[in-house]
Amino acid sequence: MTDSDPQAPKTGPNNLITDVPGIEVGHYAAHHTGTTVILARGGAVGGVDVRGSAPGTRETDLLNPVNLVDRVNAIVLSGGSAFGLAAADGVMTWLEDRGLGWPLGDGQVMPIVPAAVLFDPGRFGREFRDRPTADFGRRACENLTAGVFPLGNVGAGAGTIAGGLKGGLGSASIDLGQGVIVGAIVAVNPFGSVVNPETGELFGAYLGIGDEFGPLPRPGALPFAAPQAPQPIRNTTIGVVATNLELTKAQATKLAQMAQDGLARAISPAHTLFDGDTLFSLATGQIPLAALQEDAAWGSMPAALIRAGAAAADTLTRAIVHAILNAETVGDTWSYRDRYLPRGD
């Protein structure tokens, strides 16, 4: 991106999902496993798309457009496989203590907190039973910020492995103009690879905006260095895309569905039998969808939603790249930077 090209795509101010007004993020990790909370303090319309064949999820059915509840308070991404869903309990009680949730009358609320988990138990020398609990969710809430937050070996990315390399947690955003922001956050733990085996390049790096990824080698310039063999049934990539557009539940579901394309661009193969790939969407609703002013013979509103969904897919791809570039080596599981890039790059 350059100042002389006003039509060039640009990121949000911090190139993070928290560039979307109304979105906050908090992490907590211990012993190479952890939890990330994405909070919509004012509530948000939610959607979900589950594309992998081994998902671990909570409260996804209520996001179906035919069901009643139309506001989500938070999304939880966690390690620990199915046991890690307990982290959402801590988030629910934290929200309840602050009166945030679906109103039940007499001052009582029911926080709406969908969640998804990835498989990391027993990794990096820890005991299998050492995994996220409700306390992880509560502590992640205590670390919430609407600004800059760390990436890499943090939160739900702490225990991740990406096709044999160290995985991580990444985030990115894009400014679509008219005040519209689309952001993504993702914990990258796939069976598939994020690296082109012929060149060592990151599959998703071609979608970078300006120099957001910093200096990377030219195509074909990297020596081949095979990562560790991936471990089947110990996988799953989970994430959230968010926007400040006003969307219905059906439109939010479509946003999540289209965003899955971004996962498939950055990871090969994706959505396997060994992965439980799950993406949530959040729409905080400050700006009408019509603000995107897209024109099409079949209607401007569908065209605007397509533009938002395409942006969500690209932003998710970029978030995956940031996860891998910010990951750090743990034990004999090398990070991408340590495996492929010269020291100092």
pLDDT interval class at 271 (50, 70, 90): very high
Q: In this predicted structure, which of 141-155, 217-231, 268-282, 310-324 has the lowest mean pLDDT?
A: 217-231
CA distance 62 to 66: 8
Per-residue pLDDT, 198: 79
Which tens digits make up the pLDDT trace of 91-104? 999 999 999 999 99
Question: 194 — phi, psi (to 5°)?
Answer: -95, 0
- Does the pLDDT value for residue 296 go beyond 60? no
Q: Average pLDDT, whole number, for the chain? A: 91
The pLDDT of 36-60, averaged and rounded, is: 96
From first CA to last CA, the distance across the chain in angstroms is: 21
Q: Look at residue 2 in the predicted model and tell me its pLDDT.
A: 40
Taking Cα atoms as reference points, which of 26, 134, 145 lies closest to residue 75? 26
pLDDT tier for residue 3 given thresholds of 50, 70 and 90: very low
The predicted-structure confidence for 142-189, as pLDDT tens digits, reads as follows 999 999 999 999 999 999 999 889 999 999 999 999 999 999 999 999
Of 160-169, 232-241, 336-345, the one with minimum mean pLDDT is: 336-345
pLDDT of residue 216: 80
Q: Quote the pLDDT of residue 300.
A: 81
Average pLDDT over residues 322-334: 95
Characterize 42-62 residue by residue with b for buried, 16 or more Cβ atoms within 10 angstroms of its Cβ, and e for exposed.
ebbbbbbbbbbebbbbbbbeb
| Confidence band of 212 (pLDDT split at 50, 70, 90) | very high
Scanning the structure block, which residue is given the tokens 């064949």? 53
Q: Give pLDDT, residue 222.
A: 53
Rounded mean pLDDT of 289-301? Answer: 72
- pLDDT for 214 equals 86
Upper half-sphere CA count for residue 210 (Cβ side, 13 Å):
17
What gap in Å lies between CA 38 and CA 257, rounded to an integer? Answer: 19
CB burial class (10 A; 0-12, 13-18, 19+) of residue 343? exposed
Q: How far is CA 292 from CA 18, 48, 270, in A?
A: 20, 23, 31
Q: Which two tokens stand for residue 114?
A: 């969908």
- pLDDT the model gives residue 345: 47
pLDDT category of residue 339 using cuts at 50, 70 and 90: confident
Top CATH class of 17-340 equals alpha beta
More confident site: 226 or 163: 163
CA distances to 166, 187, 207 from 50, in Å: 24, 15, 24
Please tell me the pTM assigned to this model: 0.94
DSSP string, 134-166: HHHHHHHHHT-BSS----BSSGGGTT-EETTEE
Inter-CA distances, 260 with 110, 125, 156, 195, Å: 29, 32, 19, 18
> Looking at residue 321, what is its pLDDT?
98
